[in-house]
Amino acid sequence: MRQAPRVLRTSAVSTMKKQTDFSCSTLHLPALAAIIMTITATVARAQVASAVPRAQQTFTQSCGFCHGADGRGGAEGGPDLRTSRIIRDDAQLRTFLKTAAPDRKMPVFDLPENQLTDISAFLRTLAVAPAGGGRGGIVAEVTGDPIAGEKYFNGEGKCNTCHSVTGDLKGAGSRMSASTLQGRLVMPRGNGGYPSQPMIPLPGAKPDLPKTVTVTQPSGQPVSGTLLSISDFYVTLKDAAGTRHTFARDGDVPKVVITDPIQGHIDLITKLTDRDMHNLTAYLVTLK
């Protein structure tokens, strides 16, 4: 016997529709939102990845001489940027680059917005978690032999030819942390690469002595003063009276002689072993 086709009541159809709608709202929409978030994050990572090579080139050209190509600190004693709190805040970083800190040898960089965006993305890839309770401090463990350090200070290292434990280094172990003392051995300008805050000197740190320069013109007249800038084309200095002088350069004319007060440290870097560095640090921290 044929059965009559089953007919659903209107109320049953309405109930099923509500259940279907409820299922979509509770399952499909969150899943869709998760997919959108994943796609957005993937696109953002791709954008950052594509910006890094461009930004690294810009960073190296504009900042590498002081901060190093990898942000760890460079030839002119710029601090290690990897633990800087500024690079973690895009707005703060942009403001800082535009205002800078001339008193700490940090010039203003008038860069277009796209380059600022790239550099900000690149610096964030360098960021490492700060030590010392998240306040950006770096703790150096003293492992060397202070007696051997004192011997090196007064002997092979020839440190005592420029420094005195009763003069400029008196109380150095109380004025500066072990990390700062060790840092200044290998990065003598600035705070040894370990600022308490970006571009702000640590307690006990003294201003760097400037480089001086003597320019001897073809006439034989020398002009000396503090070196302000030098390139293949020009050299600019400030004399004792505060007057600026800029000279055009053509090869070795005029004759330019630069005196760097920390040349001894620069020469020492090529000879300083890890053992000597740790021994010196262990000795310097005893200078209370």
Residues 256 and 270 in one domain: no
Residue ranges of E strands in the chain: 212-216, 222-230, 234-238, 244-248, 255-259
Question: 76-108: buried (b, 16+ CB within 10 Å) or exposed (e) per residue?
Answer: ebbbbbbbbebbeeeeebbebbeeeeeebbbee
Q: What is the pLDDT of residue 214?
A: 96
* pLDDT value, residue 259: 93
pLDDT of 221 reads 94
The pTM of the full predicted model, rounded to 2 decimals, is 0.46
Q: Does residue 46 share a domain with residue 114?
A: yes
Q: What pLDDT is recorded for position 32?
A: 60
Are 57 and 116 found together in one domain? yes
Q: Same structural domain for residues 51 and 117?
A: yes
Model pLDDT, residue 136: 46
Please check whether residue 45 lies inside any domain of the structure.
yes
Residue 9 lies in a domain: no
Give pLDDT, residue 129: 53
Alpha carbon separation from 269 to 189, 190, 264 (Å, rounded): 13, 16, 9
Q: Are residues 171 and 274 in the same domain?
A: yes
Q: Cα-Cα-Cα-Cα dihedral of 157, 160, 163, 168, to 10°?
A: 130
Task: Please check whether residue 11 lies inside any domain of the structure.
Answer: no
Q: Specify which residues 229 forms β-bridges with.
A: 236
Rounded CA separation 150/201 (Å):
27
Residues 6+ apart with CB under 8 A from 174: 204, 287, 288
Among candidate residues 76, 95, 128, the one where a domain is terminated: 128
| Domain-embedded: residue 1 | no
Residues of the chain with confidence (pLDDT) below 70: 1-52, 74-77, 100-105, 128-140, 189-207
Same domain, yes or no: 150 and 270: yes
Domain assignment of residue 65, yes or no: yes
CATH number of the domain at 112, please: 1.10.760.10
User: What is the residue range of 90's domain?
Assistant: 25-128
Give the CATH number for residue 232: 2.30.30
pLDDT of residue 48: 54
- Among 99, 128, 157, identify where a domain stops: 128
Query: Are both 196 and 243 inside the same structural domain?
Result: no
Same domain as 273, residue 160: yes
Q: How far apart are CA 60 and CA 172, in angstroms?
A: 34
222 φ/ψ angles, rounded to the nearest 5 degrees: -90, 145
Same structural domain, 122 and 38 = yes
Residue 7 lies in a domain: no
Interatomic CA distance for residues 112 and 147, integer angstroms: 54
Q: Is residue 279 part of a domain?
A: yes
Number of domains in the chain: 3
List, for residues 86-126, the tens digit of each pLDDT value: 777 777 777 777 776 666 667 777 778 887 777 777 777 77
- Please check whether residues 153 and 223 belong to one and the same domain: no
Whether residues 202 and 216 share a domain: the answer is no
**Cβ(287)–Cβ(146) under 8 Å?**
no
CA angle 259, 231, 238 (to 5 degrees): 55
140 assigned to some structural domain: no
